[in-house]
């Protein structure tokens, strides 16, 4: 869980670790898999400790280990802590890291389901997905699906952060309205300010303007307006915030987190960081905005994993939706909002 703006999985790990473990046991029994690793981001020290303690309790109760509940089924679950690389959120990078190798994405095919960890068939799933399974088994798939909308059944955990009165994680129908998420569940914009922008599904998803947020939060509806629900991380940006500064922060992140394996990503994210940074510092040049868009065109879809795309989507959408701010930074040679690095 390294996507900026996304923090739902750590809530499950800290407040419901046995729900996760139960989902793992059911999944592994169904797959006839006898080994499971919970890959935890390196920064999540507290979360890893809590899950480790819950696993020990599960072993002591006979829910893990040899001959679970007399079924003859064996399962070992191990927490593996990564070193804090965003790239290891990609499944093949995660597998390489798990094996003790550099966390670089692999070419696919072969896919992990055929050749995964240690050369064996491997299924990689998100914590939220696995934690849903006990409820589904207890209440039925149709009941779970009915909580959502057609093609997007069930509920989603949505993490809302930024300038809202009640930031937090909300479990809501997959068909909930994005405007309702912000103004009803998260309590509206902090300090009575107006809304300026929303990043709807984690930092890599294209940004939305205020007149675009009256939309269902399901996959199809978000896709129709050119963005994604992504990892469920809703980031709310208020009036008065500098969009160039916001994009500069994101480009610093992606340049830092690029693993360097693919040239378009390694070089492209570095140049995006430099160009957006100099625009924000009041040193922007005529043609810089066009140069950013040209870089994006040469990065999108040209790398082994989607990290380059993850940098491109906010860069393009920030410019498309807030071009006037970039032009003012360059024309006035300063940030009109008074921001300074």
Find the mean pLDDT for residues 252-271: 97
SS3 at position 24: helix
- Both structure tokens of 293: 């868009």
- DSSP annotation of 233 reads E
pLDDT at 341: 41
pLDDT at 338: 82
Token pair 């009803």: residue: 184
Segment 229-252, tens digit of pLDDT:
999 999 999 999 999 999 999 999
* Beta-carbon count within 10 A of 34 CB: 11
Segment 11-47, tens digit of pLDDT:
999 999 999 999 999 999 999 999 999 999 999 999 9
Res. 340: pLDDT tops 60: no
Predicted TM-score of the model (pTM): 0.94
Segment 139-179, tens digit of pLDDT:
999 999 999 998 899 999 999 999 999 999 999 999 999 99
Q: Which CATH number among 3.40.50.970, 3.40.50.2300, 3.40.50.11540, 2.40.50.140 corresponds to the domain 8-139?
A: 3.40.50.11540
C-alpha 68: how far from chain center? 34
Give dist(CA 123, CA 195) in Å, integer: 40
Question: Residue 226 contacts by C-beta under 8 Å, 6 or more apart in sequence?
Answer: 206, 317
* CATH topology classification for 243-332: de novo design (two linked rop proteins) (1.20.1440)
DSSP-derived secondary structure for 154-201: SEEEEEEEESBSS-EEEEEETT-BHHHIIIIIS-SBGGGPPEEEEE-S
Domain residue ranges of the chain, discontinuous segments joined by +: 8-139, 155-238, 243-332
CATH class for the region spanning 155-238: alpha beta
């Amino acid at each position: 869980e390294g996507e900026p703006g996304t923090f739902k999985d750590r809530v499950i790990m800290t407040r419901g670790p046995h729900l996760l473990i139960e989902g793992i046991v059911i999944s592994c029994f169904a797959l006839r898999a006898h080994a499971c690793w919970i890959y935890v981001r390196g920064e999540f020290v507290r979360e890893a400790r809590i899950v480790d303690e819950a696993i020990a309790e599960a072993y002591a109760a006979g829910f893990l280990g040899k001959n679970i509940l007399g079924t003859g089924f064996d399962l070992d679950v191990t927490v593996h802590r990564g070193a804090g690389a965003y790239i290891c959120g990609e499944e093949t990078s995660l597998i390489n890291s798990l094996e003790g190798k550099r966390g670089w994405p692999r070419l696919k095919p072969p896919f992990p389901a055929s050749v995964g960890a240690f050369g064996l068939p491997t299924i990689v799933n998100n914590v939220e997905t696995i934690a849903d399974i006990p409820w589904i088994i207890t209440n039925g798939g149709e009941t779970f699906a009915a909580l959502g909308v057609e093609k997007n059944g069930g509920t989603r955990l949505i993490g809302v952060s930024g300038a809202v009165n009640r930031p937090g994680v909300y479990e809501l129908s997959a068909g909930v309205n994005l405007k309702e998420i912000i103004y009803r569940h998260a309590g509206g914009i902090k300090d009575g300010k107006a809304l300026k922008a929303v990043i709807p599904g984690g930092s890599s998803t294209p940004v939305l303007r205020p007149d675009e947020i009256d939309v269902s939060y399901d996959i199809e509806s978000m896709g129709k307006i050119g963005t994604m629900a992504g990892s469920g991380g809703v980031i709310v940006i208020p009036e008065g915030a500098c969009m160039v500064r916001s994009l500069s922060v994101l480009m610093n992140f992606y340049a830092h987190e690029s693993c360097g394996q693919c040239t378009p990503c390694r070089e492209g994210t570095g140049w995006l960081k430099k160009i957006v940074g100099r625009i924000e510092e009041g040193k922007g040049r005529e043609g810089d905005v066009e140069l950013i868009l040209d870089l994006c065109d040469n990065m999108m879809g040209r790398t082994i994993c989607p990290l380059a795309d993850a940098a491109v989507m906010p860069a393009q959408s920030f410019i498309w939706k807030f071009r006037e701010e970039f032009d003012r930074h360059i024309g006035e040679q300063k940030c009109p909002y008074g921001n300074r690095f």
